Amino acid sequence: MPPAAPETAGGRRRQPDELMDELRDWLGDNWDPDLTVGEWWERLGLAGWAAPSLPTDRYGRGLLRNDAVRVQEVIANFGALGPPAGLGLLLAGPTIAEHGTREQVDRYVRDIVVGATAWCQLFSEPGAGSDLAGLTTRAVEDGDEWIVNGQKVWTSGGQYADLGMLIARTNPEVPKHQGITWFAFEMHQPGVDVRPLRELTGNALFNEVFLTDARVPSSAVIGGLHNGWAVANTTLAFERSGLGAGGGSGGAGAVLPGTVAEQLGARAGDFVSPEGRRRTRSRSGSTAPGSAKLLIDVAKANGRAADPLIRQDLVRLHMMGEIGRYNSLRWKAARAGGRDIPGMANISKLQMSEMVRLSSDLGLRIAGVAGTLYAYDDAGRAALVAATGDPTAGALAAMALFAPAPSIYGGTDQIQRNIIGERALGLPKELGNERTVPFSELPKNR
């Protein structure tokens, strides 16, 4: 993605501190805990503070990523409710802002930044995960609509979504990367069957989605017909950089947008504590991944902080976090100068996987036998805390149970290494004829 145009004042670039002061003033004038969530998000989103890294003419403020992360911190520290959680703000908004027409930006991105719609990502299929371009969900033209048939899987938040980022095959008679289209797909329609999948944590974060003669209008094609592979790569780049080490939370707050979660009518102030910290916990029940600070606190509290092996790994974890932060600053500086560092999004995502693995292992070593305690719902969590007297009881087990996920979603660790090898190090691509042979003629598993 090219660097977003930074905000300017009187022809000069605005300094981040000036912007943060402007934000604090704005919050002083606008935050009111008695607004509904929907009313508050409308103010926040239309002022450009919900998605500040989007361009200024596309519901953002043209900030670079680190400054956008600071915006979230300022909002949280002020004690106001943060922007909507989820994949709309993280992936769909930036993708449509980059590839959509003006009309599509006003139709979709506006509703994303004000939290009116929730989105899911309809990319992976049972036979197409790492080999995403091998997808078989078909979209067939019917007048000014497309009829969609196929199956998606691992669809995070599909049960709350109003719209989906759908990639489907619109031309099987060309090589596989060339016949795919990216659609903004309406989830509330006949022919869309969302079935939850339960994970190790006991939560059902993701779903399988069956599409049977579902419909999507031609006006919902984003980035051009058959050009979906390029558009999907934009989505994946935002996913990898948003989830990578040093990337903050990628724009996600803790309150869910959209019509299904039914939180838009609730009082905004009920989602923040008097000290300003958000009350809600993440749906996975996990603590922040890769956080050395949390583990240092736990090690101090249960007397393990003097163990030299624990100390060594705590420092390793802290250093990995710092390297991620410095890499992110390096990338920011390069982009501000109109350059890029090839493979940086992949490197930071890989590093986040490493940090989550180390945190999980370290957390269980620090916790000892208490690390086996876990509860599958709010009542169970409350009982666990009451029985142990430890407000973080179960949190380290939750972190460990969720730890395999970051090395899989957004492209597995192996796939990140392949990309770094090919695109950053210039190693030869895997041999094969899939870039020249029509998709319909390629061998398939089924």
User: Which residues of this chain interact with ligand FAD, rule CB under 6 A?
Assistant: 120-121, 123-124, 129-130, 154-156, 206, 405, 408-409, 411-412, 414-415, 418
User: Could you tell me which residues come within 8 angstroms of residue 228 by beta carbon, excluding any fewer than 6 positions away?
Assistant: 167, 168, 170, 180, 181, 182
Looking at the Cβ atoms of 12 and 433, the one nearer to ligand FAD is 433
Angle at 214 between CA 209 and CA 216, to 5 degrees: 110
Least Å distance, CB 65 to ligand FAD, is 21
Question: CA dist 106 to 6, 44, 56, 58, 262, Å?
Answer: 21, 16, 13, 8, 23
Looking at the Cβ atoms of 328 and 416, the one nearer to ligand FAD is 416
C-beta separation of 123 from 154 below 8 A: no
Least Å distance, CB 410 to ligand FAD, is 6
Least Å distance, CB 30 to ligand FAD, is 32
Least Å distance, CB 120 to ligand FAD, is 6
C-beta separation of 215 from 234 below 8 A: no
Looking at the Cβ atoms of 344 and 415, the one nearer to ligand FAD is 415
Least Å distance, CB 126 to ligand FAD, is 8
d(CA 21, CA 67): 13
Looking at the Cβ atoms of 372 and 414, the one nearer to ligand FAD is 414
Q: Which residue is nearest to ligand FAD (CB)?
A: 129
Looking at the Cβ atoms of 48 and 247, the one nearer to ligand FAD is 247
Least Å distance, CB 124 to ligand FAD, is 3
C-beta separation of 327 from 361 below 8 A: no
Looking at the Cβ atoms of 16 and 202, the one nearer to ligand FAD is 202
Least Å distance, CB 52 to ligand FAD, is 24
d(CA 259, CA 244): 29
Least Å distance, CB 431 to ligand FAD, is 12
Looking at the Cβ atoms of 154 and 182, the one nearer to ligand FAD is 154
Looking at the Cβ atoms of 19 and 87, the one nearer to ligand FAD is 87
Identity at 359, one-letter amino acid code: S
Looking at the Cβ atoms of 56 and 282, the one nearer to ligand FAD is 282
Least Å distance, CB 420 to ligand FAD, is 12
Looking at the Cβ atoms of 105 and 135, the one nearer to ligand FAD is 135
Looking at the Cβ atoms of 4 and 184, the one nearer to ligand FAD is 184
Least Å distance, CB 330 to ligand FAD, is 27
Least Å distance, CB 239 to ligand FAD, is 9
